[in-house]
Structure formats: C-alpha cells, structure tokens
Chains A and B, each alone.
Chain A
C-alpha cells in the first residue's frame, strides 16, 4: 500500500518544478513563495505558544521536516513559512478555504473528517478521557450524571461526550469552550465538573497546573486510542504524497524518535515541564510502519 504514494512521490520529485506543471497546494506554494502552517495556542506539547508567543511543539517540528522536503522538491531554499493560529472549531474550514496548507497540531484523523480534509501519517495515539478535581472522586463516565461537563468546540471529544450523554441518558449539561485552555480553566474555577479531552492533552494541563495533585483523570475512556495526523487539503495527491514521504522518512529515522523524546521525555518550554511519557506500543508500531489509517483498531496490535 505504501509503495504507491512513494512511487508517485518519486515520479513527482523527478519532474522539473515549474509552477505551470504543478497543481494544488504545491502550485500555490510555488506561486506565492510561502507555505502556511495552522498552529494551536494550547495543545501542549504538540503545538502551543512559548514565552515569546512563538509556536513550538512536537507537531511543529514534524511540520518543519515537511517544509524542508517542500523546499527541496520545489528548489525553493528561501520558502517563507507563515503561521496562522487556528482553533478546533475553525481548522477544517480554514484548510478548505485555503487559509492554511498544513495543520500542525493534535487533530484526530477519522473517517468523518476525511470527507472534508486529508491526513498524513499518524504522529500520536490517544484516547478520549476526562479530568476532574481529585476531591470529587469521579472515575467513571456515569459519575458525571447531571453535572456540567466542558469540552472544546469542534473536537471529536465533544461529539463523543454528547453521544455518551444521549446513549446512557446521563442528563449532562455539555458546554463548548473556545479552546483547551478555556475548558481546563472551567474545571479549575469549578464552573464545570469535568473536561473531556484526549488524555495526553489532559496530562499536560495537569502537569502545568498550579497544583497538579488537585486533579485526576477518570479511569473510563470515551474511545479507543485514536490517531492524530497532520491535516492537509483533500484531493491533492501530489502534495499528500510528498508529505507522506517526508513524515514516513522522519518517523522511521533516529531523528524522528529523538524528536519524540525531546517533547515527551525531557523538559519542554516555557516552564521546563517534563511529561515523562514513553512511546506507547501502538505508536511504536506507527513509527516503524507509518500509516494514515483512521481506524483506531488498526494500531491496536
């Protein structure tokens, strides 16, 4: 399966990079001399703003590998990189309307979204869980019955929360927050009893909270561990082939593994937080054999 995009990429890379011969995103990049990355403001450690309000993170570093590959393919060493802050709620329309070319964050790759956008190889796997104040002793989803629960607008998590709420008849008041930071803040200020999000994001919020011991992640998950991918525009095979090859090369290299360790097993800016999260078995598989499969079960071997 992987051979086809690789072959396409090889074929493509052999062609002279004249704008007229290019299509889609690559043509756009060649003509405008810029590539635009959509970045997040509070998806630690994937994509967030550091002290100087500069976007940094695990997914940002991956995107810069892609940018290098684009520079080489189009022979544009001076390619300009623009960053545009996006939210969970607007990242897909902004990709579709051409505002951003690569979305470098923590976007779940699923079949529903593939109707609108495309994803390159998986860079993380995470399950949807909830965080609550430790003192509240909430461990199961049923324990949220009748409470106010927040999630981020436009995330897969809020869909799963709504679904669990309807399926199990829990009578939860679901509140949509603008971004992760606002959602966590609602738990911190007791506005909401719990915040439903990917467990890795929750863990990073707890770790950087003023009093990490005050929070606990529930035991029960809303979903299997689902894949994150860098988001691309749909129906743009040449660009996707290039990005797929660049990310696959990176993930299977030692530099790729070092990048994981840099963001998950070492102190990260701005406060020198160390998430201490070794690579999961599923992700090790996804690094050894890069895949853009949206099915969570395909990683669960």
Chain B
C-alpha cells in the first residue's frame, strides 16, 4: 500500500463538507422535525383516537419497525412518484428528486420510532393532569397543546435527541441510491482517485467526532431538563 495521503483529504474538504455534510445535516434535521411531528400524531392517534384510527396507527408502526431501513429506502425511491400522483390527483407519477425522496423516506420511517418515544412520554404523565385539564374546561387538543405535550417534550428531549443521532448515522444509507451525502461524497472521491483507505478512515473519524460530541451533549442535557416532581 502506498503512503497515507493527507493531501487528498485536504483538497476535497470543501466538496466533502459543503456538498456532502450539508446534505447529511439538512436531511437529518428536516427528517427529525418531520418524524417527531408525524410520530406525535401517530402516538396521539393510538392513545386517544377512535378504534379505527388507533388500529391504523398501531398497524403502521408495527409494519414499519420490523423492516430494515435499506429496504424502506428502496421501496420509497420507486413508490414516492406514484404516491405523489395519488395524493395530488395528478394524471401521472410526479417527479421527485433524490433529496425529497430521501426526506420522505426518513420521515415515514423515523416517525414509527419517534411515535413509540412519544407514546412512552405521554404515558408517563400522571392521568390526573389530563383529568384536571378537562375539569378546567380544556378540550382534548388544548390539554395536549398546553398541558401534556410541553412536559412530554421536556421529559423526552434527551431520548428524542439520541434518536436523532441514530438518524444522523442512518442517513449514510442513502449511499445505496448514489446520493451525495457525506459518505457518498467521500466514496465518490475514494473511487475516482483510488484512495479508499484515506477517504473511508476520514469519514469514519468525522462521523465519530460528531456523534460522540452530540451524545455527550445529550448526556449533559439529560441532567438539566429533568422536570422537578
């Protein structure tokens, strides 16, 4: 093997970070946001929706969770144009770019996981609070919006963030679609210049530093946000 070439990393830094890492972080943040929103709705449907709605939400979660993300990525890559057609009532499958396709996939996939977190969170709030909110004349939506959910987000914030770190790592799987995320950018340069050792080691190091720092941050946060009881 030839010498480890630091120069190649140095030369490709801007491509790796401005193209690749920007894609990875945008995808991570938007997917987490969308996943939490959809996941919260699923959790509420399961806990307080009618029997049909609850069964649908439970069925959805139980369908998605046993599936590998890679398979779901393939599913949606081909399915999303048809779904778009169906949703918008268009006369043909709509064009969906790589980013949008990946974003929809991750929101749909992660929502199943976020909904379990939110369900545990809602379940941990003493029932008396919901009863008190009702007694005060709040509707279900109001009691969720002003009483229950703010506490759930506070209690569950560390867990939600930990799941987001997992999501950050999982976004690397868009590699299977040849999308230029951080790993995709690294592998394109690795293949073009035959520098696999350098590029993959560097990618591993960057992922490690970012995930490790973030999870240490979550650990510190965990101590701070505990709701005094």
What residues of B have a CB within 8 angstroms of the CB of A298 in the complex?
Answer: none
Q: Quick check: is A147 within 8 A (CB to CB) of the other chain?
A: no
CB neighbors of B among A23-50 (8 A): 28, 32, 34, 36, 41
Q: Quick check: is A296 within 8 A (CB to CB) of the other chain?
A: no
Q: Are B178 and A41 in contact (CB under 8 A)?
A: yes
Complex CA gap A77/B82 in Å reads: 30
A81-94 toward B: CB 8 Å interface, digit per residue (1/0)?
01011010010011
Complex CA gap A84/B94 in Å reads: 14
Q: Are B194 and A98 in contact (CB under 8 A)?
A: no
Q: Are B191 and A182 in contact (CB under 8 A)?
A: yes
Q: Quick check: is A7 within 8 A (CB to CB) of the other chain?
A: no
Q: Are B194 and A28 in contact (CB under 8 A)?
A: no
Q: Are A99 and B191 in contact (CB under 8 A)?
A: no
B95-127 toward A: CB 8 Å interface, digit per residue (1/0)?
111100000000000000000000000000000
Q: Known contacts A181-B192, A185-B194, A189-B196: does B178 contact A98 (CB below 8 Å)?
A: no
Candidates B96, B97, B194; contact of A210 at CB < 8 Å: B194
Q: Quick check: is A179 within 8 A (CB to CB) of the other chain?
A: yes
Interface centre among A179, A185, A188 (most CB of B within 10 A): A185
Q: Quick check: is A254 within 8 A (CB to CB) of the other chain?
A: no
Q: Are B95 and A36 in contact (CB under 8 A)?
A: yes
Q: Are B81 and A97 in contact (CB under 8 A)?
A: yes
B229 to chain A minimum Cβ distance, whole angstroms, is 52
Q: Quick check: is A257 within 8 A (CB to CB) of the other chain?
A: no
B43-78 toward A: CB 8 Å interface, digit per residue (1/0)?
000000000000000000000000000000000011
Interface centre among B81, B95, B188 (most CB of A within 10 A): B95
Q: Are B194 and A178 in contact (CB under 8 A)?
A: no
Q: Quick check: is B176 within 8 A (CB to CB) of the other chain?
A: yes
Size category of the binding interface on chain B: 10 to 19
Q: Known contacts A41-B178, A87-B178, A178-B178: does B94 contact A98 (CB below 8 Å)?
A: yes
What residues of B have a CB within 8 angstroms of the CB of A181 in the complex?
Answer: 191-192
A36 to chain B minimum Cβ distance, whole angstroms, is 6
What residues of B have a CB within 8 angstroms of the CB of A90 in the complex?
Answer: 77-78, 177
Give the nearest-CB partner of A101 in chain B.
B95
Complex CA gap A185/B196 in Å reads: 10
A203 to chain B minimum Cβ distance, whole angstroms, is 18
What residues of A have a CB within 8 angstroms of the CB of B77 in the complex?
Answer: 90
Q: Are B196 and A98 in contact (CB under 8 A)?
A: no
Chain A contact residues, majority secondary structure = mixed
Q: Are A185 and B95 in contact (CB under 8 A)?
A: no
What residues of B have a CB within 8 angstroms of the CB of A84 in the complex?
Answer: 97-98
What residues of B have a CB within 8 angstroms of the CB of A99 in the complex?
Answer: 81, 93, 95-96
Q: Are A179 and B178 in contact (CB under 8 A)?
A: yes
Q: Are A98 and B95 in contact (CB under 8 A)?
A: yes
A292 to chain B minimum Cβ distance, whole angstroms, is 24
Q: Quick check: is B92 within 8 A (CB to CB) of the other chain?
A: yes
What residues of A have a CB within 8 angstroms of the CB of B92 in the complex?
Answer: 28, 98
Give the nearest-CB partner of B193 in chain A.
A210
What residues of A have a CB within 8 angstroms of the CB of B176 in the complex?
Answer: 178
A157-199 toward B: CB 8 Å interface, digit per residue (1/0)?
0000000000000000000001101100100110000000000
What residues of B have a CB within 8 angstroms of the CB of A34 in the complex?
Answer: 95
Q: Are A185 and B97 in contact (CB under 8 A)?
A: no
What residues of A have a CB within 8 angstroms of the CB of B178 in the complex?
Answer: 41, 85, 87, 178-179
B224 to chain A minimum Cβ distance, whole angstroms, is 44
Give the nearest-CB partner of A28 in chain B.
B92
Q: Are A97 and B192 in contact (CB under 8 A)?
A: no
Complex CA gap A36/B96 in Å reads: 11
8 contacts between A and B (CB under 8 A): A85-B98, A90-B77, A90-B78, A97-B78, A98-B92, A99-B81, A179-B178, A185-B191
A-to-B contact residues, CB < 8 Å: 28, 32, 34, 36, 41, 82, 84-85, 87, 90, 93-94, 97-99, 178-179, 181-182, 185, 188-189, 210
Closest 8 CB pairs of A and B: A98-B93, A97-B81, A181-B191, A97-B93, A93-B78, A98-B92, A185-B191, A98-B81
